[in-house]
Amino acid sequence: DSMFITSVMGMNSDFQLKVAMTIVLCLVLMYTTVGGMISVVFTDYLQFVVMSLGLVVTSILLMIHFGWSNIVDTVGHIKGEAGFNPLMADSGIGPSYLVWMFFLGLISACVWQTSVMRATSAESEAVVRRTYSWGSVGFLIRFLIPYFWGVCALVFVWQHPQLKGIFLPANVKVDSSLQLRAMPIALSSLMPAGFIGLLTAGMLAAAMSTYNTYLHTWSAVLTQDFVAPLTGNRMSSRTRILVARIIMCLIAFFLLVWGLWYPLGERLWDYMAITGAIYFTGAFATLTGGIYWKG
| pLDDT value of position 115 | 72
| CA atoms within a 13 Å half-sphere pointing along the CA-CB vector of 222 | 17
Q: Count the Cβ atoms, other than its own, within 10 Å of residue 150.
A: 14
Average pLDDT along the chain, 295 residues, taken 10 residues at a time: 67 72 80 75 74 83 91 90 86 82 78 74 82 78 84 91 84 72 84 77 73 81 89 87 89 79 62 76 84 84
| pLDDT value of position 71 | 93
∠ CA 73-77-81 to the nearest 5 degrees?
90
pTM: 0.70
